[in-house]
Structure 1
Amino acid sequence: MAKQDRAVRTRQELICSAAEIFDRRGFMSASLADISTGAGVSTGALNFHFSSKKELGETVQAAAEEGLRYITTTCTEARPSPLQTLIDATHVLATQLGENVVLRAGLGLDNDAAWHDGAELWLKWRSWVRGMLTIAEYEGNLAAGVQPDDACSIVMATVMGIESLGRKDAALYSRRVVTRFWKMVLPSLASQESRAKLDAGGSEVVARWDEHTRAGDGVAGPLTVARCGTRVDER
């Protein structure tokens, strides 16, 4: 059992190391030697777990996809209004982009010119965002004349901008930035009746997430891979 546990830990450390290097240097410049060194194992040990750098990239994206799904599912299961669900999910995603290198690297690979046949995580996120906005439209939560596709484009542009620019300024990965965005957007996006019930700063779902994250009790589930560190400040 101890040997099996050690193999699991080694695999997790390799995923973390690969994510950190993909995130800092991009897929093309990442080397298997540097990834194994970052994980504190030999290149032979890396080859035992992963046959290629491409397989490592696919594994990082698979972990990021699981994390993204966890965010949307957790926020949806709380059953607030669709717009509040969307607000909450953007808050969690923004802070996780700053805290979880696997999630950040997985999304980053989608926009990496050297990466092909990826998981298209941003398209999956866009599909979920549009779904929430479509439900909001059906329930009469959107302001008159607002189309889900148009609103989705604005949300996507903002979140992807936070992900990209946050690599240069980690302060963008914050609740404060997301709250300001929603305070500016909601008067044009939401109907007057629904707007009165929305919290641009996030509902109790986000507050509970923050509390559990600080406590380190594992509530983030698949968002943590062996407690991967984050190195935003090293970029």
Structure 2
Amino acid sequence: MTKQDRAVRTRLALIRSAAEQFEARGYVRASLAEISAGAGVSSGALHFHFANKAAVAEAVEHAAARALRQVAVRGRGGDGCALQRLVDVTHHVARLLCADVVVRAGLRLNAEAVAGRVRDLRREWRECVHELLAEAERRGELAAGMPPHRSSAVVLAATTGIEVLAREDPGWLARPSLTDLWHLLLPCVAAPQLAGALDPAGTEPDHAQADAGGEADGALEAPGRVGLALR
């Protein structure tokens, strides 16, 4: 392994360890000593990569943003029924949150506006929902009297609420919970002719949950290659 490879691995280990500490203890109580110990490196190695705890938190948010952005882009760029793709992408985000502590910690840090940062980590998700529902309207998939801005507000409120509730009870992110949500929403949002054709449980197989973990790991990249923000 080259020196550069070791440096990249160390940085990624520090980001994951930091995410675990931020999730378990919160930003204020998490210490750099605990983060470096969790990554199996010295404090000196941590400071080689990050100037302070705020810089570590920033890296966690960047990594979470990349993973979430990949999911949103996938949903917007797919084929077929826009409403079904919206259902599928919510299940995919839920699997991602279940599988990867970096994504969970990144969203929590962003919501708490740690160290005064102003990045909007869920922006891409909002845009994804808006675009899919606008596409659904163009395709005639939305119910009468349910314009995209109204249906978007409902979907965003519901999915953001589930993410917040899941911080205390991960069961909110389970497939049955999201399926129940879509069982309630789809009859209100979808055109009547689509009601029986949409699958509120999502169209991806159960084993996709394991794949989500691999995708999230791929979001941890070397400095300069980590993507932008979501909320």
Q: TM above 0.5, one fold?
A: yes
* Counterpart residue number, 1:232: none
Instruction: Kindly indicate whether the alpha-carbon contact (under 8 Å) linking 1:58 and 1:118 is maintained by their aligned counterparts in 2.
Output: no
* Counterpart residue number, 1:129: 129
Q: Counterparts in 2 of 1:131-170, with a 5 A limit?
A: 131-170=131-170
* Counterpart residue number, 1:176: 176
Structure 1 position 41 matched with structure 2 position 41: yes
Instruction: Kindly indicate whether the alpha-carbon contact (under 8 Å) linking 1:162 and 1:173 is maintained by their aligned counterparts in 2.
Output: yes
Q: After alignment, is 216-225 or 178-187 more displaced?
A: 216-225
* Counterpart residue number, 2:30: 30
Q: Aligned with 2:29: secondary structure?
A: coil
Instruction: Kindly indicate whether the alpha-carbon contact (under 8 Å) linking 2:73 and 2:128 is maintained by their aligned counterparts in 1.
Output: no
> Matches of 2:25 and 2:10 in 1, distance apart?
22
Instruction: Mark the runs of 5 or more structure 2 residues left unpaired by the alignment.
Output: 222-231
- Runs of 4+ with >4 A deviation: 215-221
Q: Aligned with 2:88: secondary structure?
A: helix
| Structure 2 letter corresponding to 1:173 | L
* Counterpart residue number, 2:218: 222
- Offset at residue 148 of structure 1 (A): 1.7
Q: Counterparts in 2 of 1:1-235, with a 5 A limit?
A: 1-203=1-203, 206-207=204-205, 210-211=206-207, 213-214=209-210, 218=214, 222-223=218-219
| Structure 2 letter corresponding to 1:43 | S
Q: After alignment, is 150-159 or 38-47 more displaced?
A: 150-159
> Matches of 2:122 and 2:74 in 1, distance apart?
18
> Matches of 1:171 and 1:224 in 2, distance apart?
26
> Matches of 1:42 and 1:153 in 2, distance apart?
47
Q: Structure 1 residues 220, 46: CA separation in 2 closer, same or farther (over 3 Å shift)?
A: closer
Instruction: Kindly indicate whether the alpha-carbon contact (under 8 Å) linking 1:84 and 1:199 is maintained by their aligned counterparts in 2.
Output: yes
Instruction: Kindly indicate whether the alpha-carbon contact (under 8 Å) linking 1:14 and 1:35 is maintained by their aligned counterparts in 2.
Output: yes
| Structure 2 letter corresponding to 1:211 | H
> Matches of 1:18 and 1:217 in 2, distance apart?
18
Q: Structure 1 residues 139, 173: CA separation in 2 closer, same or farther (over 3 Å shift)?
A: same
| Structure 2 letter corresponding to 1:28 | V
> Matches of 1:113 and 1:212 in 2, distance apart?
32
Q: Structure 1 residues 170, 32: CA separation in 2 closer, same or farther (over 3 Å shift)?
A: same
Q: Structure 1 residues 221, 17: CA separation in 2 closer, same or farther (over 3 Å shift)?
A: closer
Cα-to-partner distance string for 1:129-181 (whole Å, 9 max, x where unaligned):
11111111122111011122222222122222222111211111211111110
| Structure 1 letter corresponding to 2:153 | S
Cα-to-partner distance string for 1:43-97 (whole Å, 9 max, x where unaligned):
1100001112222122111111110111122334441211111100100111211
Alignment coverage as a number of residue pairs: 222
Instruction: Report the identity percentage.
Output: 42
> Matches of 2:80 and 2:115 in 1, distance apart?
37
| Structure 1 letter corresponding to 2:7 | A
- Offset at residue 195 of structure 1 (A): 2.5
> Matches of 1:219 and 1:156 in 2, distance apart?
23
- Offset at residue 118 of structure 1 (A): 3.9
| Structure 2 letter corresponding to 1:58 | E
Taking structure 1 as the reference length, what is the TM-score of the superposition? 0.85
Q: Structure 1 residues 76, 130: CA separation in 2 closer, same or farther (over 3 Å shift)?
A: closer
- Offset at residue 189 of structure 1 (A): 0.6
Q: What is the CA RMSD across the aligned residues, in angstroms?
A: 2.3
